[in-house]
Homo-oligomer: A and B are copies of this chain.
């Protein structure tokens, strides 16, 4: 079913208001969540709305958090998210990073006591309007094995970096530190199709094309796939994200990161810190070079890469190109939701007395 994004965004806001979020927070959270659907990261958008409500039902989400700095220097801080929506905690932490960058050139915020923050790219892109480079990372519940491990110890731990250009749209890299996002496995599961070798391993650590492997004791593989193809680098990258987001903030880390509230994964289990961790950063471009010089060179970079000779039938893309194209398309044509997502929305509409026409 196809919906206008404004309609969905408003629906999300109504749900967050219904669980007790203040007006401004519900508005912000709806904007962050719908940006995932607009940019084509469907698994991180409205499909997760009922999960946030389950987090609330299980006492793991505080709709009225007091988000505060618990330690800081001029360029660094740890922020306590007070069990608030990551969708609200992360933009507020990013604002602190931007303020610090304004004053001393850069700002780096490690966040504890949060939960799922939507897509990393949204938060990194908050820096663009201020001629800054933005960084966003988060840890997540374990789905990924370090190289040679049979056990899942890392989340898909994404990294996003947003860099402004002058005449071109910005450079926005936003990617998980795994070979593939778990959302792609779920698509294969629905279609009962096998997975390419290099995406997952089975419970004994063998390569497999079983798209249900992760459910059956297997794991997603780090970017690189196997040791021969550099999986230790993907593992290193995921580990860096985990340490910056989790260990540096006093959140949970590694296998202790609490799961998002999907069916069967309600409880947080043993904890070594507080909630989920994020890491957000901002660097003022004119802390390095005059912003116009830098942006002119970024245009040169982007134009040179975009015009490189491509493999037959393909085109060299700039990070952020596909997501921006989808956003334009979906803002115009609407967002197509799968039946289970619509059904979840119907349940939420009924529970909270929100009008919903599907």
A208 on interface, CB distance cutoff 8 Å? no
Q: Which residues of B contact A232 (CB under 8 A)?
A: 175, 317, 319
A198 CA / B294 CA spacing, docked (Å): 34
Q: Which residues of B contact A316 (CB under 8 A)?
A: 146-149
A104 on interface, CB distance cutoff 8 Å? yes
| Given A105-B74, A105-B75, A288-B248; A319-B179 close (CB under 8 Å) | no
Query: Are the CB atoms of B73 and A308 closer together than 8 Å?
Result: no
A305 on interface, CB distance cutoff 8 Å? yes
A293 on interface, CB distance cutoff 8 Å? yes
A236 on interface, CB distance cutoff 8 Å? yes
Query: Are the CB atoms of B75 and A287 closer together than 8 Å?
Result: yes
Query: Are the CB atoms of B76 and A283 closer together than 8 Å?
Result: yes
Contact among B243, B300, B309 with A272 in the assembled complex (CB-CB below 8 Å):
B300
| Given A75-B105, A104-B73; A223-B228 close (CB under 8 Å) | no
Q: Which residues of B contact A155 (CB under 8 A)?
A: none
A309 CA / B104 CA spacing, docked (Å): 45
Tell me the chain A residues, 213-253 only, with Cβ under 8 Å from chain B. 223-225, 228-230, 232-237, 239-240, 242-243, 247-250, 253
Interface size class of chain A, counting residues whose CB lies under 8 Å from the partner chain: 35 or more
| Given A75-B106, A243-B301; A230-B175 close (CB under 8 Å) | yes
A115 on interface, CB distance cutoff 8 Å? no
Query: Are the CB atoms of A297 and B273 closer together than 8 Å?
Result: yes
Q: Which residues of B contact A247 (CB under 8 A)?
A: 294, 297-298, 301
Query: Are the CB atoms of B78 and A104 closer together than 8 Å?
Result: no
A-B pairs with beta carbons under 8 Å apart, 20 shown: A76-B106, A76-B287, A146-B316, A148-B311, A150-B309, A173-B240, A175-B230, A175-B232, A179-B229, A196-B228, A204-B311, A205-B311, A225-B225, A229-B229, A235-B319, A243-B301, A247-B294, A248-B289, A250-B289, A272-B300
Minimum-distance CB pairs A-B, first 5 = A73-B105, A76-B287, A205-B311, A173-B236, A76-B105
